[in-house]
């Protein structure tokens, strides 16, 4: 009798659940990567599915449905409920030839799982048509803003207040942006990835990688006093694939990659850490009483010594050196501010940015200590100096043209010349690959950042340029900036770089 009663109770609960959500069929609350559940929205003929490969950090979605348009929608959706602002990023593509040219994938934010719910989506169709689509109210007709980009594989949707922005690109190219303002679809909403077949009899498949749900810093945060969380990411140069290997709720900054390929070194809250790449665990490096370390720290080419930039009272940042295993640091520059950026291949010389007489210029100083030598002499900001592995050049960034650009010069300061010349972005911190073939650097958007600033928490690119010259290629699109890649972070085989992206990890768990 008890078994029968239990069965009928379960049956009644199931009926109530169906009555409460008649169209959001097959909703699952099981966590799927960063998402909370998945649902078929609308009366689809064939159930969709979603799987997550934890090893590759990829999502595969299948979905049927007639369309996402007009007054109602049918599609498969993998989702998470979020409040407040967000940035949703992925590299996505439809699989196979498909049946209907209007099959579609993308990001969506919607009020509910009802088919006629208000929503906004960044969508890429099978024929390449790309648009920012939105329904302002329940059962209202869908509207759209079309993009000039056809068939992008980089798709981003973000919210700031009631403004929604779509940024799309073909991987390697900068974003193209469309926006809709004054779209109020609620504070706590469903956000996630979708697939729609645009044919009730067909099931289509989409593949998504490098999926990022980012919660940005609040608009009124106080720089250098308030911080959000950090993710250490490894980027494969050949493919652009990204792997999050460690996440923390505090600010982690500027990973160095050790020459033995076993460890990353980064700073956080004034301390230095080594991060074991095999065990994926951090450990504090002993730097004695030098405990105000910032993100300008560099390894010697042989990996035996670590150069630090750490503050002293009333002097600002001072340069120190310490064995990479830890110990008592040796003070190198007698005055500050001095911000270390490079170590010569022979280990004898350090190059740094020094503020002297209210100007920031590039200097060198013997690694054992001694008199400093000024290499640049321009009223603009010169920063981020780094030796090439053959020791023949020092690369740096300068805003002497009004735009922050990558420059280079001989180690004695002669033959100063611009490397990036298009002035599209503000380019910072050139890092040369160990094989001497490539330069990777950080690019800020000119509409967000002044040429003499490199702040936290902005839309940024990592861009790659052959050292022989050519057109820079975007290899990473992310939310970061200050602390992301201030120092050399190439892997010893020149195949990967490490960097820091940022998000409020207390919201995205």
Q: Read off the pLDDT of residues 271-292 as tens digits, 9 standing for 90 and up.
A: 999 999 999 999 999 999 999 9
Q: What is the mean pLDDT of the segment spanning 332-340?
A: 96
- CA-to-CA distance for 205 and 279, rounded, in angstroms? 35
What six digits make up the tokens of 506? 């207390």
What six digits make up the tokens of 326? 């830890």
Q: With a threshold of 0.95, does the pTM exceed it? A: no
- CA-to-CA distance for 136 and 116, rounded, in angstroms? 11
Phi/psi-derived region of residue 227, left when phi > 0, alpha when psi is between -120 and 50, beta in every other case: beta
Q: Domain 229-503: state its class.
A: mainly beta
Judged by DSSP in three states, 19 sits in: helix
Identify whether the C-beta of residue 457 lies closer than 8 Å to the C-beta of residue 502. Answer: yes
Identify whether the C-beta of residue 371 lies closer than 8 Å to the C-beta of residue 365. Answer: yes
pLDDT for residue 314: 86
Average pLDDT, the chain: 94
pLDDT bucket at 17, cuts 50 / 70 / 90: very low
Instruction: Give residue-wise pLDDT tens across range 390-412.
Output: 999 999 999 999 999 999 999 99
Residue 356 pLDDT more than 90? yes
Instruction: Give residue-wise pLDDT tens across range 223-260.
Output: 999 999 999 999 999 999 999 999 999 999 999 999 99
Task: List every span in the chain annotated with CATH 2.60.120.200.
Answer: 22-214
pLDDT for residue 30: 65
Length reported for the chain = 509
Task: List every span in the chain annotated with CATH 2.120.10.30.
Answer: 229-503
| Percent of the chain whose pLDDT exceeds 90 | 91
Name the residue with higher pLDDT: 23 or 358.
358
pLDDT for residue 434: 98
Q: What is the mean pLDDT of the segment spanning 362-375?
A: 98
Quote the radius of gyration of the chain (alpha carbons, Å).
Answer: 26
Strand pairing of 438-445 and 330-331? unpaired
Q: If you write DSSP's letter for every residue of 326-388 in order, what string do you get?
A: ----EE--SSS-EEEEEE-TTSSEEEEEEEETTEEEEEEEETT----EE----SS-EEEEEE-
CATH 2.60.120.200 fits 22-214, yes or no: yes
Instruction: Give residue-wise pLDDT tens across range 442-470.
Output: 999 999 999 999 999 999 999 999 999 99
Judged by DSSP in three states, 262 sits in: coil
Residue 43 pLDDT more than 70? yes
Instruction: Give residue-wise pLDDT tens across range 129-155.
Output: 999 999 999 999 999 999 999 999 999
Identify whether the C-beta of residue 306 lies closer than 8 Å to the C-beta of residue 350. Answer: no
């Amino acid at each position: 009798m008890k078994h029968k009663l239990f069965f009928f109770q379960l049956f009644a609960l199931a009926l109530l659940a169906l009555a409460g959500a008649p169209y959001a069929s097959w909703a699952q609350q099981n966590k799927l990567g960063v998402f909370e559940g998945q649902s078929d929205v609308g009366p689809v003929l064939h159930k969709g599915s979603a799987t997550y490969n934890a090893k590759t950090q990829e999502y595969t979605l299948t979905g049927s449905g007639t369309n996402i348009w007009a007054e109602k929608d049918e599609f498969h959706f993998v989702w998470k409920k979020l409040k407040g602002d967000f940035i949703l990023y992925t590299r996505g593509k439809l699989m196979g030839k498909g049946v209907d040219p209007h099959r579609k994938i993308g990001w969506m934010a919607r009020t509910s799982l009802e088919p006629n719910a208000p929503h906004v989506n960044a969508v890429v169709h099978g024929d390449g048509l790309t648009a920012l689509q939105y329904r302002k109210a329940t059962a209202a007709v869908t509207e759209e803003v079309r993009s000039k980009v056809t068939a992008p594989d980089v798709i981003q949707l973000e919210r700031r207040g009631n403004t929604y922005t779509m940024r799309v690109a073909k991987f390697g190219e900068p974003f193209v942006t469309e926006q809709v303002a004054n779209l109020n679809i609620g504070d706590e909403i469903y956000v996630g990835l979708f697939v729609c077949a645009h044919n009730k009899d067909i099931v289509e498949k989409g593949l998504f990688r490098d999926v990022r749900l980012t919660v940005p810093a609040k608009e009124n945060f106080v720089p250098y006093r308030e911080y959000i969380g950090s993710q250490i990411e490894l980027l494969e140069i050949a493919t652009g694939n990204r792997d999050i290997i460690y996440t923390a709720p505090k600010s982690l900054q500027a990973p160095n990659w050790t020459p033995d390929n076993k460890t990353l070194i980064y700073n956080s809250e004034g301390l230095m850490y080594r991060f074991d790449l095999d065990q994926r665990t951090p450990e504090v490096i002993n730097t004695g009483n030098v405990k105000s370390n910032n993100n300008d720290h560099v390894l010697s080419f042989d990996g035996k010594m670590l150069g630090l930039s750490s503050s002293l009272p009333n002097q600002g940042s001072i340069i120190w050196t310490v064995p990479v295993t830890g110990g008592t640091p040796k003070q190198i520059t007698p005055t500050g501010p001095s911000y270390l950026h490079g170590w010569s291949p022979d280990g004898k010389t350090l190059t740094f940015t020094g503020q002297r007489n209210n100007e920031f210029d590039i200097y060198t100083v013997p690694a054992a200590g001694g008199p400093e030598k000024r290499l640049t002499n321009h009223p603009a900001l010169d920063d981020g100096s780094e030796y090439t592995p053959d020791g023949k050049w020092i690369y740096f960034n300068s805003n002497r043209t009004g735009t922050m650009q990558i420059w280079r010069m001989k180690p004695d300061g002669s033959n100063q010349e611009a490397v990036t010349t298009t002035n599209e972005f503000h380019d910072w911190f050139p890092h040369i690959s160990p094989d001497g073939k490539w330069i990777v650097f950080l690019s800020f958007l000119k509409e967000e950042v002044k040429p003499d600033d490199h702040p936290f928490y902005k839309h940024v690119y990592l861009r790659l340029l052959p050292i022989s010259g050519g057109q820079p290629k975007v290899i990473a699109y992310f939310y970061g900036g200050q602390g992301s890649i201030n120092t050399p972070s190439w892997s010893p085989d020149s195949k990967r770089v490490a960097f820091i992206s940022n998000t409020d990890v207390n919201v995205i768990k």
